Amino acid sequence: MKTKLLSTLIIAVCCISVQAQKNVSVKTVNNISYYDKAETGAADSYKASQCVLDLRYPENKSGFATVVWFHGGGLTGGKRHFIRLLDQTIAIAAVSYRLSPKVEHPGYLQDAAAATAWVIRNIAQYGGDSNKIFVAGHSAGGYLSAMIGMDPRWLNERGMSNLQLAGIIPVSGQVTTHFHVKKLRGDTGPEFRPIIDEFAPLYHSASNLPPICLILGDRRIEYKNRVEENALLEVSLRNLGHTHVEFYEMGGLNHGTVGCGGLIPLENFVKNLSKNSNR
């Protein structure tokens, strides 16, 4: 377990000083469909247009790690985008997924798993290492990354295992049942009354999960309950015997700004595990 409180000044300096590394040539491939044509079908134009990802990867390096990134937006909005890492030898797969109400629950979870499975199956053809795939996201994207990384069901449906992942990195992700999922499943209680059921990452806490990095903003200004419920996940995993959980509460950052500032521990987590990986 690691717990860090980082200053806003350090985060601000790092966020504005992102520069391409020397001798790293980066290529981008856009609008890659992560479902087969048979699964999208001519009748489902929304699925065909929405279920795509953009891949940015280093051309002059092999065996690189890849972060599969899910955007935020409460499961009802948001757009895919590349996160900006200092180390451009780390590939990014920026994923779009179907949004409520255009898709019924749990379509966004199925999409997140399908996108991740596509990366695992195909990253080698771009030079990447399929054993160095990390799932990550901010806010609702953090919820999706935690769910498909912790609940075996979703990747199993794609013929994969969540244990194939190199790491799980929710950035200010809800780890009780997501507030929008609660509504869709008929809950009429207050937003901040937590539910921990099969659609809560907390429910799937286990000792054998991949390494997990929980990144939050400052509890004084973060989304209500967010730091505390992630702290419960951290201690639950540790008490169950999980051997690699990192927890970062980043001083001075709120729910929105931790989406940028949180990329610092995210990048270090990816680099350290990729360097030390014998998988």
- Cβ atoms within 10 A of the Cβ of 91, count? 26
Output the pLDDT for position 42. Answer: 66
Quickly state the pLDDT bin for 16 (edges 50, 70, 90): very low
User: pLDDT tens digits for 184-219?
Assistant: 999 999 999 999 999 999 999 999 999 999 999 999
Is residue 260 assigned to a domain? yes
List the CATH number of the domain containing 64. 3.40.50.1820
Is residue 174 assigned to a domain? yes
Is residue 21 assigned to a domain? no
Is residue 237 assigned to a domain? yes
Name the least confident of 14-23, 26-35, 122-131. Answer: 14-23
pLDDT exceeds cutoff 80 at 113: yes
Could you give the CA distance from residue 242 to residue 157 in angstroms, rounded to a whole number? 25
**DSSP line for 149-163:** HH-HHHHHTTT--GG
Is residue 8 assigned to a domain? yes
Is residue 118 assigned to a domain? yes
Residue span of the structural domain in which 52 resides: 2-15+26-276
User: pLDDT tens digits for 236-247?
Assistant: 999 999 999 999
Output the pLDDT for position 43. Answer: 63
Six token digits for residue 141:
């994207």
Quickly state the pLDDT bin for 40 (edges 50, 70, 90): confident
Is residue 123 assigned to a domain? yes
pLDDT exceeds cutoff 70 at 170: yes
pTM of the entire predicted model: 0.92
Angle between helices 263-276 and 8-16 (to 10 degrees): 80
DSSP 177: S
Task: State percent of the chain over pLDDT 90.
Answer: 86
State the amino acid at position 81 in one-letter form: H
Is residue 20 assigned to a domain? no
DSSP 126: G
Count of domains forming the chain: 1
